[in-house]
A and B are shown apart, each in its own frame.
Chain A
């Protein structure tokens, strides 16, 4: 396993279209996180899964955003009716839940451009 994998790396879409991103975490990791990073800013938390359960969602995650993690493996993040303000880097991270500190490993991100 070479780490957290995200697909696609880049996506250009027209305003109003739907897009879906995929994240494959490190295989034994049961926690998965989605973050959004706009240019010149640090990442902002979007949502978090433990196994297949979505345990926390940010208020940033409007009704147009939905995330799933079927069977507790890969995850998808869908944005419906994209807007120009959705243009950002979408980062996925995973970690292994165990006692004490657990390091989150990040993927390279999906850069979304809405034109």
Chain B
């Protein structure tokens, strides 16, 4: 069975600084997708960034980038120039067939 582990229940960062959220996963599949989702308080889950496992190049979306280490089964999210609006729960997820397998989440606090 696929598993996703987020070992940081909570992280805090000063506004405008950079923060990295960690995620490890386990899968027996050779072709899979990895995702980071953001869930602001009382708001819906929003896709932040995705990575196809067959791509060696790390995905980047504006201030968000990932460090995908396939052999180590590691998939961390780096947020640069943190903004107050980045405060949320961040979930790492992998896709198995049609369902998403989720980590427990990391609460990101932005200090003004």
Q: How would you classify the secondary structure of chain B's contact residues: helix, strand, loop or mixed?
A: strand
Chain A: interface size category: 20 to 34
Contacts of B52 in A (CB 8 A): 101
Number of A-B contacts (CB under 8 A): 52
Contacts of A108 in B (CB 8 A): 42-44
Q: How would you classify the secondary structure of chain A's contact residues: helix, strand, loop or mixed?
A: loop
Question: Which residues of chain A (44-69) have a CB below 8 Å from chain B?
Answer: 44-45, 48, 55-56, 58
Contacts of A74 in B (CB 8 A): none
Contacts of B42 in A (CB 8 A): 108
Q: Does A43 contact B (CB under 8 A)?
A: yes
Instruction: For the complex formed, measure the closest distance between the CB of B10 and the CB atoms of chain A, giving whole angstroms.
Output: 11
Instruction: For the complex formed, measure the closest distance between the CB of A85 and the CB atoms of chain B, giving whole angstroms.
Output: 18
Given contacts A101-B33, A101-B52, contact A33 B99 (CB under 8 A): yes
Chain B: interface size category: 20 to 34
Given contacts A101-B52, A108-B43, contact A42 B98 (CB under 8 A): no
Question: Which residues of chain B (87-107) have a CB below 8 Å from chain A?
Answer: 91, 93, 97-105
A42 near B43 (CB under 8 angstroms)?
Answer: no
Contacts of A103 in B (CB 8 A): 47, 50
Given contacts A31-B98, A56-B97, contact A107 B103 (CB under 8 A): no
Question: Which residues of chain B (65-112) have a CB below 8 Å from chain A?
Answer: 91, 93, 97-105
